[in-house]
Structures are given as C-alpha cells and as structure tokens.
C-alpha cells in the first residue's frame, strides 16, 4: 500500500511539472509573435512640414530624412502607413492621446510630451540657432561714408599732412623756396599740398624736395603713406564684407534688445522665455522666416538644420544663420503611452541606423555624415 501511495504522489508531481512547463510555453507564444500581431497593418502617422526632415516634393510627394527612415522601418516590419499633415505641433498632443495617430514622425524630446507620450529611440541630435537678415552693401557703404567724413578721421588725416608738410617745408624753405616758399603760411600750404598728393600716389611733380633733409622726409612719408593707404583699403573691404553678414544681432547676448520670433510651444521658445527674452510666437518656422525676410523681425530662433536648409533653398541672398547653437535636444518619433509598437519600432530603428545607407541619407539631406 505504501508503494502505491508513493507511485501515486510521483505521478501527480510529474503531471504538475509537465503542466507548468506547458503553461510557460503557451504564455511565451504571444510574446514571440507579438512583433507581428501587436503592430497594426497600417500606421496613421502625423507630421508637420519640417525641411529637410519632412518635405513635399514637386509632385506633392513626401520626401526628407524622416520620410526615408519611416519607409525603411515600415518596410522592415511589413506594414503600410498613411501620412496626415498638421499645421503645428500643438495638435499632436490631443491626436496621440485620443489615439487618432499611431505615430508622430519627427518631434523634439521634451519633458512636457514625455508625460503623455512614449518616445522611440532618438535618430538625430540637433540644437537651436539664430537666423538674421543679411545687412546689404547699402548699409556697408553708409558706414564707410560715415567713417570717411567723421571728425576723428578728418582731423587725424589733416594732422598727418600738417606734420609731413611742416617738416619738408622746414628743410626746403631756404634752398627751394620757389616750390615751397619762404613764408610760414604759404610755405606750410605748399608742404601740406605736397604731403596730400604724395600720400595718394598722384604725384603731379609740381613740387619735389631737393635738400638731403627734405628727401629723407619724403622717403619716410612715402613708406608711411603706403602703410596708411593699405590699412584704409583693408578697413573699407572689411566694413563692406561684415556688412553682408552682421547687423543688429551678432549672438545670443543681442536678443534681449531686438525683435525675436520663434515657433510657439517648442523647445526653442521655452529656452528663450526662460532666459527673459520676449518672443513673438509663430505657428510654423516658414511663417517666422518670412516675417524675418520682410523686416518684421530682427532674429528668428529655431532648429539649426531646418534654418540652414530654408536659408539655402529659399532665402540665400536675404537671410543668414549665425554660427553656434543655443541648446541641444534629440529628435525622435512619438506614440501613445503603452503602445505595443514601441519595442519592435526601436529594434528596427537600431538596425536601420547601423546600416551604411543611413549615413548616406544623412549626408544627402543634411550635407554631412552622421
């Protein structure tokens, strides 16, 4: 009897063990198949126009770095997608929370959205930059004229002529009085005239020193004149060149004193307001850049890559992006919290971005490799 009881207990234990194994195997089956079963067959993807990440081509077809990435990801997952265009990121929050969208294509990773959305792995690191209007040659020439006729410049020039003219007159007044005269007023006048025509390399030849001392002064004055004229020419060139690129805004420190615009409800807008800068809000980067081109703004702050692309393609002769960035952030995709899309999406993103083709796409759209 004892043996039978022992055999019975062993059989029950074996059955329980087998049942436990089967339970874990059956539980794992949905997890293994989750990549295909949990991902919808068609993704509804929201986006805004954000060149060069998201653009519309000549035939209204979608193109850009983020579009290429989305195509690669959905192709790998074996699913389709439908793009829905929005005018502002303001609409993304409600659209994702209400599950009208499965995915937001390109969005900055911020604390505000992290509370209500899930982010994918970031696929690009960027920063804010400042776009300004190019100050044209008219302004450059006005500064040159202003400097030419300033009292400081004229006074300095007359002083040099007076010194050189007085020295040459001192040596030439007795032995060369027919050219420089022997009276102080008349002689100094001839000396200043000689200094002026010598400096400008006109050299009429109506007056020339004959004494040893006068010729030494002439040699020194000619070398000094060459240096002065060269410096003056360089100053004019620099003034005109800088006039092309520098205006009221030369960096972040100038922003509190000028009219600044940025896209509303973005990381750039938040950064500016936190630093005490009054900012005019715009619904899109394109609207802000147009306002800058029309002199309604002195500076516009947005994503560095987007600004450079717009300046290069739409405003090459009117706007300029200052060197350097103000703050850095990541660009990612976003989806509803708890979305089953997140894990398979992240795995595919990593595979796509490790491929050499990704570096080629970055170079194609951004102009440099990642």
166 exposure class (CB count in 10 Å sphere: 0-12, 13-18, 19+): middle
Residue 18 falls inside a structural domain: yes
Residue 131 falls inside a structural domain: no
**Number of domains the chain is built from:** 3
Q: To which residue do tokens 């209400």 refer?
A: 98
Are 16 and 71 in a shared domain? Answer: yes
Q: Yes or no: say if 194 and 152 are a contact pair by the CB < 8 Å rule.
A: no
pTM for the model: 0.58
Residue 311 falls inside a structural domain: yes
Are 146 and 113 in a shared domain? Answer: no
Are 59 and 94 in a shared domain? Answer: yes
Helix 342-354 to helix 356-366 angle (10° resolution) is: 80
CATH number at residue 212: 1.10.287.70
94 vs 116: CA distance, rounded Å = 10
Are 199 and 147 in a shared domain? Answer: yes
Q: Yes or no: say if 128 and 301 are a contact pair by the CB < 8 Å rule.
A: yes
Find the helix or strand (DSSP H, E) in which 327 lies: none
- Which residue range is the domain that position 86 belongs to? 2-125+331-366
Backbone angles phi, psi at 261, to 5 degrees: -125, 155
CATH number at residue 41: 3.40.190.10
78 vs 83: CA distance, rounded Å = 17
From first to last of the 370 residues of the chain, give the pLDDT tens digit. 444 444 555 555 555 555 555 454 444 444 433 444 467 789 999 999 889 999 987 777 899 999 999 999 999 999 999 999 988 777 887 888 788 899 999 988 887 778 888 999 999 988 899 999 886 544 555 555 655 556 677 788 788 888 888 888 888 877 777 777 767 777 778 888 888 888 877 656 667 788 888 888 888 888 888 888 887 777 766 655 555 445 678 888 999 999 999 998 788 888 899 999 999 999 889 999 999 999 999 999 999 999 999 999 999 888 999 988 888 889 999 999 888 999 999 999 999 999 889 999 998 888 765 5
Residue 133 falls inside a structural domain: no
Among 245, 265, 285, residue at a domain's last position:
245
């Amino acid at each position: 009897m004892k043996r039978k009881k022992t055999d019975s207990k062993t059989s029950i234990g074996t059955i329980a063990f087998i049942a436990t194994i089967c339970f874990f195997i059956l539980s794992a089956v949905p997890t293994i198949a989750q990549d295909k079963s949990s991902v919808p067959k068609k993704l509804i993807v929201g986006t805004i126009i954000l060149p060069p990440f998201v653009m519309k081509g000549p035939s209204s077809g979608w193109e850009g770095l983020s579009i290429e990435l989305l195509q690669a990801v959905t192709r790998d997952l074996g699913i389709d997608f439908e793009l829905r265009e929005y005018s502002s990121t303001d609409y993304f929050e409600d659209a994702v929370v209400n599950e009208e969208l499965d995915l937001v294509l390109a969005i900055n990773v911020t604390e505000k959205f992290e509370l209500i959305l899930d982010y994918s792995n970031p696929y690009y690191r960027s920063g804010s930059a400042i776009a300004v209007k190019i100050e044209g040659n008219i302004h450059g020439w006005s500064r040159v004229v202003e400097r030419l006729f300033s009292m400081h410049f004229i006074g300095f020039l007359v002083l040099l002529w007076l010194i050189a003219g007085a020295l040459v007159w001192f040596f030439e007044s007795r032995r060369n009085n027919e050219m420089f005269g022997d009276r102080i007023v008349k002689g100094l006048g001839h000396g200043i005239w000689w200094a002026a025509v010598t400096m400008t390399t006109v050299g009429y030849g109506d007056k020339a020193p004959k004494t040893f001392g006068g010729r030494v002064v002439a040699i020194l004055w000619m070398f000094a004149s060459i240096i002065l004229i060269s410096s003056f020419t360089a100053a004019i060139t620099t003034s005109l060149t800088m006039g092309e690129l520098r205006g009221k805004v030369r960096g972040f420190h100038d922003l509190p004193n000028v009219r600044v615009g940025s896209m509303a409800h973005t990381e750039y807008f938040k950064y500016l307001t936190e630093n005490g800068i009054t900012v005019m809000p715009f619904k899109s980067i394109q609207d802000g850049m147009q306002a800058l081109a029309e002199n309604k703004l002195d500076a516009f702050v947005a994503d560095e890559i987007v600004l450079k692309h717009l300046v290069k393609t739409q405003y090459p002769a009117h706007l300029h992006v200052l060197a350097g960035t103000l703050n850095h952030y990541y660009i990612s995709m976003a989806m509803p919290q708890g979305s089953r899309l997140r894990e398979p999406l992240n795995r595919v993103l990593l595979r796509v971005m490790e491929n050499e083709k990704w570096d080629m796409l970055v170079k194609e759209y951004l102009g440099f490799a990642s």
